[in-house]
Amino acid sequence: MKLLRLGMALLLLFSLTGCWSKLELDELTFIFGMYIDAGPEPGTVELSISTPLPNRLASGTQPGTAQGKSYSTVTKTAHSITDAIILIQKDLSRRLEISHIKAIVIGKEYAANGIHELLEWCKRQPEIPMGSYIMAAPGKAKEIAGLSAIFEQLPSQVLRNFSELNLTYATTVRDCLLAESNNMGYAMNHLSFGVNKDEKEQGEPVKWAGVQGVMLFNGTKMTGTLNSDESRALSWAAGDLSGHVTLPMYTVMWNEQESKGKASALFYSDTVSRKVRITADGPVFHIRLKGKASITLFDDNNTDEAVDHSNLIRRKLEERITSEVKEALEHTREAGADVLQLGMLLEWNHPREWKKLKERWSDYYADRAEIIVTTDIRIVDFGASK
Protein backbone atom coordinates (compact mmCIF):
# COMPACT_ATOMS: atom_id res chain seq x y z
CA MET A 1 0.00 0.00 0.00
CA LYS A 2 2.84 2.37 0.85
CA LEU A 3 4.54 1.57 -2.47
CA LEU A 4 1.29 2.35 -4.33
CA ARG A 5 0.97 5.73 -2.64
CA LEU A 6 4.62 6.51 -3.37
CA GLY A 7 4.13 5.61 -7.04
CA MET A 8 1.07 7.89 -7.33
CA ALA A 9 3.00 10.76 -5.70
CA LEU A 10 5.83 10.32 -8.21
CA LEU A 11 3.36 10.41 -11.12
CA LEU A 12 1.92 13.68 -9.83
CA LEU A 13 5.41 15.16 -9.63
CA PHE A 14 6.00 14.44 -13.33
CA SER A 15 3.01 16.68 -14.19
CA LEU A 16 4.72 19.65 -12.50
CA THR A 17 7.50 19.95 -15.07
CA GLY A 18 8.33 23.49 -16.18
CA CYS A 19 7.80 25.07 -19.61
CA TRP A 20 10.72 24.29 -21.89
CA SER A 21 9.91 26.78 -24.66
CA LYS A 22 8.80 29.91 -22.80
CA LEU A 23 9.38 33.42 -24.14
CA GLU A 24 9.40 36.41 -21.83
CA LEU A 25 7.42 39.52 -22.84
CA ASP A 26 10.57 41.63 -22.78
CA GLU A 27 11.96 39.38 -25.53
CA LEU A 28 9.13 40.16 -27.97
CA THR A 29 8.23 43.05 -30.28
CA PHE A 30 4.49 43.15 -30.99
CA ILE A 31 3.39 44.34 -34.43
CA PHE A 32 0.21 46.40 -34.04
CA GLY A 33 0.11 48.00 -37.49
CA MET A 34 1.26 46.74 -40.89
CA TYR A 35 1.57 48.99 -43.96
CA ILE A 36 2.13 47.51 -47.42
CA ASP A 37 3.20 49.38 -50.57
CA ALA A 38 4.40 48.45 -54.02
CA GLY A 39 8.21 48.50 -54.07
CA PRO A 40 10.30 50.80 -56.28
CA GLU A 41 11.22 47.89 -58.55
CA PRO A 42 8.63 45.70 -60.33
CA GLY A 43 7.79 42.60 -58.32
CA THR A 44 8.95 44.05 -55.00
CA VAL A 45 6.99 45.03 -51.91
CA GLU A 46 7.71 47.75 -49.36
CA LEU A 47 6.63 46.67 -45.89
CA SER A 48 6.41 48.93 -42.85
CA ILE A 49 5.51 47.81 -39.35
CA SER A 50 4.44 49.87 -36.35
CA THR A 51 5.33 48.53 -32.92
CA PRO A 52 4.82 49.98 -29.41
CA LEU A 53 7.82 50.97 -27.32
CA PRO A 54 7.14 49.49 -23.86
CA ASN A 55 9.62 51.77 -22.12
CA ARG A 56 7.57 54.80 -23.32
CA LEU A 57 4.14 53.35 -22.59
CA ALA A 58 4.46 53.70 -18.83
CA SER A 59 1.32 54.43 -16.89
CA GLY A 60 0.52 58.12 -16.86
CA THR A 61 2.77 58.94 -19.83
CA GLN A 62 0.96 60.92 -22.49
CA PRO A 63 1.77 60.85 -26.22
CA GLY A 64 3.84 63.80 -27.32
CA THR A 65 5.76 64.27 -24.08
CA ALA A 66 9.51 64.80 -23.87
CA GLN A 67 10.02 61.06 -23.96
CA GLY A 68 9.13 61.06 -27.63
CA LYS A 69 6.82 58.82 -29.61
CA SER A 70 5.41 55.73 -27.93
CA TYR A 71 5.88 53.63 -31.06
CA SER A 72 8.47 52.85 -33.70
CA THR A 73 8.13 52.31 -37.46
CA VAL A 74 10.53 50.16 -39.50
CA THR A 75 10.44 49.79 -43.30
CA LYS A 76 12.10 47.24 -45.58
CA THR A 77 11.80 46.37 -49.27
CA ALA A 78 12.02 42.83 -50.62
CA HIS A 79 10.56 40.47 -53.22
CA SER A 80 7.93 39.15 -50.82
CA ILE A 81 6.23 40.04 -47.55
CA THR A 82 8.00 37.18 -45.79
CA ASP A 83 11.43 38.33 -47.00
CA ALA A 84 10.68 41.89 -45.87
CA ILE A 85 9.74 40.67 -42.38
CA ILE A 86 12.98 38.69 -42.19
CA LEU A 87 14.96 41.81 -43.11
CA ILE A 88 13.15 43.79 -40.41
CA GLN A 89 13.82 41.06 -37.85
CA LYS A 90 17.56 41.26 -38.57
CA ASP A 91 17.60 44.88 -37.42
CA LEU A 92 15.70 44.29 -34.17
CA SER A 93 16.91 43.13 -30.78
CA ARG A 94 13.61 41.39 -30.03
CA ARG A 95 11.62 38.67 -31.75
CA LEU A 96 8.74 39.91 -33.92
CA GLU A 97 5.26 38.76 -32.89
CA ILE A 98 2.43 39.11 -35.47
CA SER A 99 -0.45 37.76 -33.38
CA HIS A 100 -1.48 41.23 -32.16
CA ILE A 101 -1.92 43.03 -35.49
CA LYS A 102 -4.79 45.53 -35.16
CA ALA A 103 -4.80 47.14 -38.61
CA ILE A 104 -3.38 46.48 -42.07
CA VAL A 105 -3.14 49.37 -44.54
CA ILE A 106 -2.43 48.87 -48.24
CA GLY A 107 -1.15 51.57 -50.57
CA LYS A 108 -3.12 52.65 -53.64
CA GLU A 109 -0.57 51.37 -56.14
CA TYR A 110 -0.28 48.04 -54.33
CA ALA A 111 -4.09 47.72 -54.35
CA ALA A 112 -4.22 48.47 -58.08
CA ASN A 113 -1.60 45.79 -58.77
CA GLY A 114 -3.50 43.26 -56.64
CA ILE A 115 -3.37 42.10 -53.03
CA HIS A 116 -3.16 38.39 -53.88
CA GLU A 117 0.19 37.94 -52.11
CA LEU A 118 -1.10 39.59 -48.93
CA LEU A 119 -4.17 37.35 -48.79
CA GLU A 120 -2.10 34.24 -49.47
CA TRP A 121 0.34 35.24 -46.74
CA CYS A 122 -2.55 35.72 -44.29
CA LYS A 123 -3.95 32.28 -45.18
CA ARG A 124 -0.69 30.59 -44.26
CA GLN A 125 0.01 32.45 -41.04
CA PRO A 126 -2.02 30.88 -38.21
CA GLU A 127 -0.90 33.67 -35.88
CA ILE A 128 -2.59 36.41 -37.93
CA PRO A 129 -5.86 37.50 -36.27
CA MET A 130 -8.60 37.03 -38.87
CA GLY A 131 -10.40 39.95 -37.23
CA SER A 132 -7.63 42.43 -38.06
CA TYR A 133 -9.07 45.41 -39.91
CA ILE A 134 -7.83 46.09 -43.43
CA MET A 135 -8.09 49.45 -45.20
CA ALA A 136 -6.61 51.37 -48.13
CA ALA A 137 -4.51 54.53 -48.25
CA PRO A 138 -5.01 57.33 -50.81
CA GLY A 139 -1.29 57.14 -51.66
CA LYS A 140 1.55 55.39 -49.85
CA ALA A 141 0.47 53.24 -46.93
CA LYS A 142 3.60 54.02 -44.93
CA GLU A 143 2.54 57.70 -44.80
CA ILE A 144 -0.46 56.61 -42.71
CA ALA A 145 1.97 55.01 -40.24
CA GLY A 146 3.18 58.52 -39.38
CA LEU A 147 -0.19 59.97 -38.42
CA SER A 148 -0.30 61.90 -35.17
CA ALA A 149 -2.09 59.79 -32.57
CA ILE A 150 -3.43 62.79 -30.64
CA PHE A 151 -6.25 60.99 -28.83
CA GLU A 152 -4.59 57.56 -28.67
CA GLN A 153 -1.14 56.22 -27.91
CA LEU A 154 -0.60 54.38 -31.20
CA PRO A 155 -1.59 55.03 -34.85
CA SER A 156 -2.96 51.48 -35.10
CA GLN A 157 -5.48 52.32 -32.35
CA VAL A 158 -6.70 55.31 -34.37
CA LEU A 159 -7.12 53.15 -37.49
CA ARG A 160 -8.94 50.46 -35.55
CA ASN A 161 -11.37 53.04 -34.17
CA PHE A 162 -12.12 54.25 -37.70
CA SER A 163 -13.47 50.81 -38.57
CA GLU A 164 -15.32 50.29 -35.29
CA LEU A 165 -16.95 53.70 -34.93
CA ASN A 166 -17.41 55.23 -38.39
CA LEU A 167 -20.40 55.01 -40.71
CA THR A 168 -18.65 53.02 -43.42
CA TYR A 169 -17.15 49.55 -43.68
CA ALA A 170 -15.40 47.52 -41.00
CA THR A 171 -13.64 45.09 -43.34
CA THR A 172 -11.45 42.41 -41.80
CA VAL A 173 -8.93 39.96 -43.22
CA ARG A 174 -11.57 37.25 -42.84
CA ASP A 175 -14.05 39.24 -44.97
CA CYS A 176 -11.54 39.60 -47.81
CA LEU A 177 -10.56 35.93 -47.74
CA LEU A 178 -14.18 34.75 -47.81
CA ALA A 179 -15.13 37.10 -50.66
CA GLU A 180 -12.03 36.21 -52.67
CA SER A 181 -12.56 32.47 -52.25
CA ASN A 182 -16.16 32.84 -53.54
CA ASN A 183 -15.15 35.12 -56.45
CA MET A 184 -17.19 37.98 -55.01
CA GLY A 185 -16.41 41.66 -54.73
CA TYR A 186 -15.70 43.47 -51.49
CA ALA A 187 -15.02 46.96 -50.16
CA MET A 188 -12.77 48.43 -47.51
CA ASN A 189 -12.36 51.85 -45.94
CA HIS A 190 -10.56 54.36 -48.18
CA LEU A 191 -8.56 56.64 -45.91
CA SER A 192 -7.75 60.32 -46.33
CA PHE A 193 -4.50 61.88 -45.21
CA GLY A 194 -3.24 65.41 -44.73
CA VAL A 195 -0.89 67.70 -42.80
CA ASN A 196 -1.98 70.57 -40.56
CA LYS A 197 1.01 72.93 -40.57
CA ASP A 198 -0.65 75.29 -38.09
CA GLU A 199 -0.72 72.68 -35.32
CA LYS A 200 2.43 71.14 -33.89
CA GLU A 201 3.11 67.80 -32.21
CA GLN A 202 6.64 67.34 -30.81
CA GLY A 203 7.71 70.30 -32.96
CA GLU A 204 6.38 68.74 -36.18
CA PRO A 205 3.18 69.52 -38.13
CA VAL A 206 0.25 67.32 -37.11
CA LYS A 207 -0.59 64.59 -39.62
CA TRP A 208 -4.28 63.73 -39.74
CA ALA A 209 -6.01 60.70 -41.23
CA GLY A 210 -9.70 60.06 -41.78
CA VAL A 211 -12.13 58.08 -43.94
CA GLN A 212 -13.19 59.55 -47.28
CA GLY A 213 -15.16 56.58 -48.58
CA VAL A 214 -14.50 52.99 -49.61
CA MET A 215 -12.29 51.27 -52.16
CA LEU A 216 -13.87 48.57 -54.32
CA PHE A 217 -12.21 45.26 -55.18
CA ASN A 218 -13.00 42.68 -57.84
CA GLY A 219 -11.06 39.53 -57.02
CA THR A 220 -7.83 40.85 -55.56
CA LYS A 221 -7.52 44.12 -57.53
CA MET A 222 -8.81 47.58 -56.75
CA THR A 223 -11.31 48.59 -59.43
CA GLY A 224 -12.86 51.79 -58.11
CA THR A 225 -13.76 54.04 -55.18
CA LEU A 226 -16.89 55.56 -53.67
CA ASN A 227 -17.29 58.86 -51.84
CA SER A 228 -18.57 59.09 -48.26
CA ASP A 229 -22.29 59.44 -49.10
CA GLU A 230 -22.24 56.50 -51.52
CA SER A 231 -20.20 54.46 -49.05
CA ARG A 232 -22.73 55.06 -46.29
CA ALA A 233 -25.59 54.05 -48.60
CA LEU A 234 -23.77 50.90 -49.72
CA SER A 235 -22.98 50.03 -46.12
CA TRP A 236 -26.68 50.27 -45.26
CA ALA A 237 -27.60 48.08 -48.25
CA ALA A 238 -25.01 45.54 -47.11
CA GLY A 239 -26.46 45.49 -43.60
CA ASP A 240 -23.27 46.87 -42.04
CA LEU A 241 -24.70 50.04 -40.47
CA SER A 242 -26.53 48.18 -37.71
CA GLY A 243 -24.58 48.20 -34.47
CA HIS A 244 -22.40 51.21 -35.32
CA VAL A 245 -21.72 53.50 -32.39
CA THR A 246 -22.17 56.57 -34.60
CA LEU A 247 -25.75 56.77 -35.90
CA PRO A 248 -26.40 57.81 -39.53
CA MET A 249 -27.91 61.23 -40.12
CA TYR A 250 -29.47 62.66 -43.29
CA THR A 251 -30.50 66.22 -44.10
CA VAL A 252 -33.12 66.96 -46.77
CA MET A 253 -34.36 70.23 -48.25
CA TRP A 254 -37.40 71.53 -50.13
CA ASN A 255 -38.12 74.84 -51.87
CA GLU A 256 -34.39 75.01 -52.45
CA GLN A 257 -34.63 77.89 -54.91
CA GLU A 258 -36.19 80.04 -52.21
CA SER A 259 -33.80 78.69 -49.56
CA LYS A 260 -36.79 77.47 -47.55
CA GLY A 261 -37.37 74.14 -45.88
CA LYS A 262 -34.76 71.94 -44.24
CA ALA A 263 -34.87 68.97 -41.88
CA SER A 264 -32.30 66.60 -40.38
CA ALA A 265 -33.13 63.04 -39.34
CA LEU A 266 -31.10 60.85 -37.01
CA PHE A 267 -31.59 57.12 -37.66
CA TYR A 268 -31.42 54.91 -34.61
CA SER A 269 -32.75 51.82 -36.43
CA ASP A 270 -31.77 50.64 -39.91
CA THR A 271 -32.33 47.26 -41.50
CA VAL A 272 -32.16 45.75 -44.98
CA SER A 273 -33.66 42.73 -46.66
CA ARG A 274 -32.35 41.24 -49.90
CA LYS A 275 -34.32 38.82 -52.05
CA VAL A 276 -34.00 37.34 -55.52
CA ARG A 277 -36.62 35.96 -57.89
CA ILE A 278 -36.16 34.30 -61.26
CA THR A 279 -37.89 35.74 -64.32
CA ALA A 280 -37.81 34.94 -68.02
CA ASP A 281 -35.10 37.58 -68.42
CA GLY A 282 -32.98 36.25 -65.57
CA PRO A 283 -32.65 36.93 -61.82
CA VAL A 284 -34.11 40.13 -60.37
CA PHE A 285 -32.73 41.33 -57.03
CA HIS A 286 -34.86 43.30 -54.58
CA ILE A 287 -33.18 45.40 -51.90
CA ARG A 288 -35.46 46.98 -49.32
CA LEU A 289 -34.13 49.40 -46.73
CA LYS A 290 -36.11 50.24 -43.61
CA GLY A 291 -35.32 52.83 -40.98
CA LYS A 292 -36.69 54.65 -37.96
CA ALA A 293 -35.64 58.25 -37.50
CA SER A 294 -35.94 61.15 -35.11
CA ILE A 295 -36.14 64.70 -36.47
CA THR A 296 -33.29 66.68 -34.88
CA LEU A 297 -33.64 69.84 -36.99
CA PHE A 298 -36.60 71.47 -38.68
CA ASP A 299 -36.53 74.87 -40.38
CA ASP A 300 -39.32 76.26 -42.55
CA ASN A 301 -40.44 79.85 -42.86
CA ASN A 302 -44.07 78.87 -43.35
CA THR A 303 -44.58 76.86 -40.19
CA ASP A 304 -42.93 75.91 -36.91
CA GLU A 305 -44.50 72.45 -36.79
CA ALA A 306 -42.44 69.61 -38.22
CA VAL A 307 -45.46 67.30 -37.83
CA ASP A 308 -47.25 69.26 -40.56
CA HIS A 309 -44.46 68.32 -42.96
CA SER A 310 -43.96 64.72 -41.82
CA ASN A 311 -45.06 63.16 -45.11
CA LEU A 312 -42.89 65.56 -47.11
CA ILE A 313 -39.83 64.91 -44.92
CA ARG A 314 -40.36 61.15 -45.08
CA ARG A 315 -40.70 61.22 -48.87
CA LYS A 316 -37.59 63.38 -49.26
CA LEU A 317 -35.60 61.01 -47.02
CA GLU A 318 -36.75 57.98 -48.99
CA GLU A 319 -35.91 59.65 -52.29
CA ARG A 320 -32.44 60.65 -51.16
CA ILE A 321 -31.50 57.31 -49.62
CA THR A 322 -32.85 55.34 -52.59
CA SER A 323 -30.98 57.60 -55.00
CA GLU A 324 -27.68 57.24 -53.13
CA VAL A 325 -27.99 53.45 -52.94
CA LYS A 326 -28.75 53.21 -56.66
CA GLU A 327 -25.82 55.47 -57.51
CA ALA A 328 -23.47 53.46 -55.29
CA LEU A 329 -24.62 50.18 -56.86
CA GLU A 330 -24.13 51.63 -60.33
CA HIS A 331 -20.54 52.44 -59.48
CA THR A 332 -19.97 48.92 -58.15
CA ARG A 333 -21.30 47.58 -61.45
CA GLU A 334 -18.93 49.84 -63.38
CA ALA A 335 -16.14 48.42 -61.23
CA GLY A 336 -17.38 44.85 -61.74
CA ALA A 337 -17.39 44.40 -57.95
CA ASP A 338 -20.41 42.60 -56.49
CA VAL A 339 -19.85 44.12 -53.05
CA LEU A 340 -23.29 43.11 -51.77
CA GLN A 341 -22.44 39.55 -52.87
CA LEU A 342 -25.74 39.11 -54.66
CA GLY A 343 -24.19 36.17 -56.48
CA MET A 344 -24.06 34.25 -53.21
CA LEU A 345 -27.71 35.15 -52.57
CA LEU A 346 -28.55 33.68 -55.98
CA GLU A 347 -26.53 30.55 -55.25
CA TRP A 348 -28.28 29.95 -51.91
CA ASN A 349 -31.79 30.37 -53.32
CA HIS A 350 -31.47 29.18 -56.92
CA PRO A 351 -28.37 26.97 -57.29
CA ARG A 352 -29.31 25.81 -60.80
CA GLU A 353 -29.55 29.38 -62.08
CA TRP A 354 -26.28 30.23 -60.33
CA LYS A 355 -24.56 27.32 -62.06
CA LYS A 356 -25.41 28.89 -65.43
CA LEU A 357 -24.00 32.29 -64.46
CA LYS A 358 -21.15 31.37 -62.12
CA GLU A 359 -18.30 31.47 -64.64
CA ARG A 360 -19.36 34.85 -66.08
CA TRP A 361 -20.91 36.40 -62.98
CA SER A 362 -18.62 39.43 -62.84
CA ASP A 363 -19.56 40.44 -66.42
CA TYR A 364 -23.23 39.60 -65.87
CA TYR A 365 -23.37 41.70 -62.72
CA ALA A 366 -21.75 44.63 -64.52
CA ASP A 367 -23.92 44.54 -67.66
CA ARG A 368 -27.21 42.75 -67.05
CA ALA A 369 -28.08 42.29 -63.38
CA GLU A 370 -31.40 43.95 -62.51
CA ILE A 371 -31.49 45.46 -59.03
CA ILE A 372 -34.61 47.12 -57.60
CA VAL A 373 -34.14 49.37 -54.56
CA THR A 374 -36.97 50.54 -52.30
CA THR A 375 -36.84 52.49 -49.04
CA ASP A 376 -39.35 52.59 -46.20
CA ILE A 377 -38.75 55.31 -43.60
CA ARG A 378 -40.73 55.86 -40.42
CA ILE A 379 -40.42 59.09 -38.47
CA VAL A 380 -40.89 58.19 -34.83
CA ASP A 381 -40.64 61.59 -33.15
CA PHE A 382 -40.11 65.23 -34.02
CA GLY A 383 -38.09 66.40 -31.07
CA ALA A 384 -39.19 69.18 -28.74
CA SER A 385 -41.37 71.94 -30.18
CA LYS A 386 -42.32 75.31 -28.77
Q: 3-state DSSP call for residue 128?
A: coil
24 pLDDT band, cuts 50/70/90, is low
- 176-226 residue pLDDT tens: 999 988 889 999 999 998 887 666 666 677 788 889 999 999 989 999 999
Question: Is the confidence at residue 98, as pLDDT, over 80?
Answer: yes
Question: Is the confidence at residue 60, as pLDDT, over 50?
Answer: no
User: Which H, E and C letters describe 288-332, residue by residue?
Assistant: EEEEEEEEEEEECCCCCCHHHHHHHHHHHHHHHHHHHHHHHHHHH
Question: Is the confidence at residue 257, as pLDDT, over 70?
Answer: no
Q: What is the mean pLDDT of residues 271-275?
A: 93
Mean pLDDT of the chain: 84
Most confident among 25-29, 112-116, 152-156, 196-200 (mean pLDDT): 112-116
Q: What is the mean pLDDT of residues 142-154?
A: 81
Give residue 261's pLDDT.
83
Which contiguous run of DSSP H or E holds residue 50? strand 45-52
66 pLDDT band, cuts 50/70/90, is very low
Percent of the chain at pLDDT > 90 equals 49
**Pick from 315, 237, 249: which is nearest to 274 by CA?**
237
Give residue 22's pLDDT.
52
pTM of the model: 0.84
282 pLDDT band, cuts 50/70/90, is very high
Find the length of the chain.
386
- 322-372 residue pLDDT tens: 999 999 999 999 999 999 999 999 999 999 999 999 999 999 999 999 999
Give residue 1's pLDDT.
65
Question: Is the confidence at residue 136, as pLDDT, over 70?
Answer: yes
